[in-house]
C-alpha cells in the first residue's frame, strides 16, 4: 500500500468517525417541565392568537406558534417539534382599580409580567406526575427578561388536562376559526 493510499484510507476513516459523532451528538431534549427553552426568535413566528382578554385576572395575552405548529390542520394534533410561547401582560389599571380599556373596548396592555413556553416532542412529558400527563407536552416559564422561573407546573398541567380532544391546547378551535378567515 502506498503512502497516498494509506493517507486516503485514514482520511476516510476519520471522516466516517466525525460523521458518526455528529449524527449521534444532538442537543439533549428536555425531559421535564422547566427545561423547554425560550426561543430567541419567537416574536417573528406566526401569532396563534393576539390580545386574548383575561379581565378576571387583569391580563392580556399574546400567543405565538412556531412554523411546525402553524402547519397543523384543524382536527389534527400538533406535530412533535411544535412550540407555543405565551406572553402575559398586566392589564393597565386606573387609580380607582378599574381596568383601562381602549376605544375598541379591549383591555390595554401594561407591562410584560412573564412568558410561558409549551413544547411538544416524542416521549416528552413521560415524567409528569401521574394523572397530570398532557401527552408529549412540557412547560416552562420565564421572566420578562428571559430568565427561567421556578413555577408550579402542575397548575399548567391541570388547566390543560381537560383538553385531551384538542391536543391539550387552549383556544384550539378559536385559532383555526380565525386562521380560516384570513
CATH label of the domain that carries residue 85 = 3.50.70
Q: Indicate whether 123 belongs to any domain.
A: yes
Q: Indicate whether 48 belongs to any domain.
A: yes
Residue 180 pLDDT greater than 90, yes or no? no
The residue range of the domain holding 89 is: 29-181
Q: Indicate whether 80 belongs to any domain.
A: yes
Backbone phi and psi for residue 152, each to the nearest 5 degrees, phi listed first: -90, 95
Structural domains counted in the chain: 1
Q: Indicate whether 98 belongs to any domain.
A: yes
Q: Indicate whether 14 belongs to any domain.
A: no
Q: How many CA atoms lie within 13 A of 136 on its CB side?
A: 13
* pLDDT tens track for 20-43: 333 333 446 888 999 999 999 999
Among the listed residues 80, 82, 76, the one whose alpha carbon sits nearest the alpha carbon of residue 46: 82
Please tell me whether the overall predicted TM-score, pTM, comes out greater than 0.85 for this model: no
Contact 63, 89 (CB under 8 A): no
* pLDDT tens track for 97-107: 999 999 999 99
Amino acid at each position: 500500500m502506498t503512502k497516498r493510499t494509506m493517507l486516503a484510507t485514514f482520511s476516510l476513516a476519520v471522516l466516517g468517525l466525525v460523521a458518526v459523532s455528529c449524527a449521534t451528538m444532538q442537543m439533549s431534549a428536555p425531559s421535564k417541565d422547566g427545561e423547554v427553552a425560550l426561543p430567541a426568535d419567537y416574536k417573528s413566528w406566526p401569532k396563534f392568537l393576539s390580545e386574548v382578554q383575561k379581565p378576571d385576572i387583569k391580563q392580556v395575552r399574546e400567543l405565538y406558534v412556531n412554523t411546525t405548529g402553524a402547519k397543523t390542520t384543524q382536527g389534527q394534533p400538533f406535530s412533535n417539534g411544535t412550540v407555543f410561547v405565551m406572553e402575559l401582560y398586566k392589564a393597565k389599571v386606573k387609580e380607582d382599580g378599574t381596568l383601562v380599556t381602549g376605544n375598541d373596548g379591549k383591555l390595554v396592555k401594561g407591562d410584560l409580567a412573564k412568558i410561558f413556553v409549551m413544547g411538544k416532542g416524542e416521549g416528552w412529558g413521560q415524567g409528569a406526575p401521574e394523572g397530570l400527563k398532557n401527552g408529549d407536552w412540557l412547560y416552562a416559564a420565564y421572566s420578562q427578561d428571559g430568565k427561567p422561573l421556578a413555577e408550579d407546573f402542575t397548575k399548567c398541567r391541570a388547566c390543560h388536562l381537560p383538553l385531551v380532544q384538542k391536543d391539550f391546547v387552549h383556544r384550539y378551535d378559536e385559532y383555526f376559526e380565525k386562521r380560516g378567515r384570513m
